[in-house]
Structure 1
């Protein structure tokens, strides 16, 4: 198994480039373009930190797949009650390969380890999202 493709001596400009490419591949151009258009001098250091840390150093690693990383992210966001970010990453599953079945399993896991209220709200948001994109949620095998 590959431990990681991270290179600690990668120049900052290269990390920004790599991070932005990964961010776009996960969240989509529209989201990233909106974020970049709202960028100011005030939050520029924060935006740079996100691209460098989250998108270059973490999401660009090949130690686990984007699908696995997406599922971990959804679990952590649901557990922490970070619902705006949860919805953003739920939409991003269209780009990461995580399927509705994966999200269901993530939320069942959240219910056990982070509490039923967190999982319940996650299910509410996931159902609304999947209905909005035409996924039939009526016929599912039970767990």
Structure 2
């Protein structure tokens, strides 16, 4: 079961964060953090993200709101970049961050909006549904 959960977790992690991100994280893994990395893959990706109850877009928006509310800036930026793979749009993220302002505070949302603007400025334009660049 753990190996199956790990394989499922890696598959989901790659589908959300992208191969380049996961490959880099795996290349940076050392003996010091190998157990922690396995825990993340099995627990977060293999047990929670892989559940059928919510789609990736919804999970993505929840994680963005939580990371913004908790002030986890690196994770927030990573999950905003991952929206290209989860289906959450810039409009979705904007709405989530407005909710953060109301329920977690304006300073948390202000920081998150700054990070989102930086991430979106660095990303290439998202393809439109018809395959055209917007």
Q: Structure 2 length as normaliser, TM-score?
A: 0.90
Structure 1 residue aligned with 2:82 = 92
Deviation at 1:132, TM superposition (A): 2.4
1:59 aligns with 2:49: yes
Tell me the secondary structure at the aligned position of residue 54 of structure 2: coil
Inter-partner Cα distance in structure 1 for 2:25 and 2:35: 14
Inter-partner Cα distance in structure 2 for 1:27 and 1:18: 14
Give unmatched runs, 5+ long, in structure 2: 126-134
1:120 aligns with 2:106: no
Inter-partner Cα distance in structure 1 for 2:46 and 2:108: 29
The higher radius of gyration belongs to 1
Give unmatched runs, 5+ long, in structure 1: 1-10, 136-143
Q: What are the within-5 Å matches in structure 2 for residues 131-142 of structure 1?
A: 131-133=121-123
Structure 2 residue aligned with 1:111 = 101
Deviation at 1:131, TM superposition (A): 2.3
Tell me the secondary structure at the aligned position of residue 102 of structure 1: helix
Inter-partner Cα distance in structure 2 for 1:25 and 1:99: 16
Contact 2:6 2:38 in 1 (8 A): yes
CA offsets, 1:29-64, max 9 Å, x none? Answer: 011001111111111110010001000001111100
Inter-partner Cα distance in structure 1 for 2:57 and 2:83: 8
Inter-partner Cα distance in structure 2 for 1:86 and 1:105: 15
Which contiguous aligned blocks of 4+ residues in structure 1 show a shift greater than 6 angstroms?
none
1:71 aligns with 2:61: yes
